[in-house]
């Protein structure tokens, strides 16, 4: 197949531009090495080796200039890997969003990077991209239909931080039970609070809701501050005793029967 100059020049320019980026980044890293900033230096001149060296320098220095150089260098390859994975999965996800989330995670977790070989960054960043895709698939509720096309790819780099499905279900059930228990507790509290005297309700509201001082409240009821403290103490005790009895009898929100679960444990 013949090649025309118009087809050759753009590629030649791209190659030349990338070589200029390489030269600039290598010079930049050499200055860091001279200052003793980078501890793990990879000497190979491959693309992967330079990316690994940049990532390790960022891990050590947290220098934003190093990170910008890293992203500038790996952008074409890493974006290509993201698109290839999405095509292979048949996933209808936004490649740009996956790319951005991947970069954010690379920036947030440099301590997890180990520069033990020239291709360390390529493998590590691919794992991060796979985990980002997994999380997005779970959020979009398309895990089953998409992963059925190629389940091995996403299983290869499982997200160790993600809880198992069984634990997620158990956590949701526990949250639902806690919400129900809290609702019952609030109903019981309001019912018992309404049974206090008008003065007790007023004093408790001033002390516990309005956060007023005893010295400021006492003159309103023509008592001393220490006497008002005793009023609050007795009101709280009556409220607590009535609340305990209501929960233990199950007479909350129209329910009948012994209390159980978180409420019983809280007031046992």
**pTM for the model:** 0.46
Helix (H), strand (E) counts: the chain: 12, 0
| Tens digit of each residue's pLDDT (9 = 90 or more) over 65-92 | 888 888 888 898 899 999 988 888 776 7
CA distance 131 to 102: 9
Q: How many CA atoms lie within 13 A of 180 on its CB side?
A: 11
CA distance 94 to 97: 5
Residue entry with tokens 């290509």: 80
CA distance 211 to 203: 11
Positions in the chain whose pLDDT score sits under 70:
1-11, 14, 33-45, 91, 141-166, 169, 250-268
Residue 159: partners with Cβ closer than 8 Å, 6 or more residues away: 131, 134, 135
CA distance 157 to 85: 13
| Tens digit of each residue's pLDDT (9 = 90 or more) over 175-210 | 888 888 788 788 888 888 888 888 888 888 888 888
């Amino acid at each position: 197949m013949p090649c025309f100059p118009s087809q050759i020049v753009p590629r030649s320019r791209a190659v030349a531009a990338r070589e200029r980026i390489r030269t600039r980044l290598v010079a930049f890293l050499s200055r860091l090495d001279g200052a003793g900033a980078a501890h793990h230096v990879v000497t190979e001149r491959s693309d992967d080796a330079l990316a690994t060296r940049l990532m390790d320098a960022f891990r050590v220095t947290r220098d934003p200039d190093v990170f910008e150089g890293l992203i500038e260098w790996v952008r074409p390859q890493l974006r290509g890997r993201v698109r290839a994975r999405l095509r292979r999965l048949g996933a209808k996800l936004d490649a740009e969003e996956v790319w951005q989330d991947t970069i954010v995670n690379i920036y947030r977790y440099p301590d997890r990077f180990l520069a033990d070989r020239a291709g360390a960054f390529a493998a590590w960043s691919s794992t991060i991209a796979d985990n980002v895709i997994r999380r997005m698939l779970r959020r979009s509720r398309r895990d089953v239909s998409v992963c059925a096309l190629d389940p091995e790819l996403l299983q290869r780099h499982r997200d160790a931080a993600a809880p198992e499905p069984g634990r997620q279900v158990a956590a949701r059930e526990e949250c639902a039970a806690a919400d129900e228990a809290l609702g019952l507790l609030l109903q019981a509290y309001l019912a018992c609070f309404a049974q206090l005297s008008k003065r007790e309700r007023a004093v408790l509201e001033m002390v516990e809701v309005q956060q007023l001082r005893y010295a400021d409240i006492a003159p309103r009821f023509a008592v001393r501050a220490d006497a008002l403290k005793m009023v609050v103490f007795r009101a709280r005790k009556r409220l607590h005793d009535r609340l305990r009895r209501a929960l233990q009898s199950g007479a909350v929100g129209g329910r009948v029967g012994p209390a159980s679960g978180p409420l019983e444990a809280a007031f046992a």
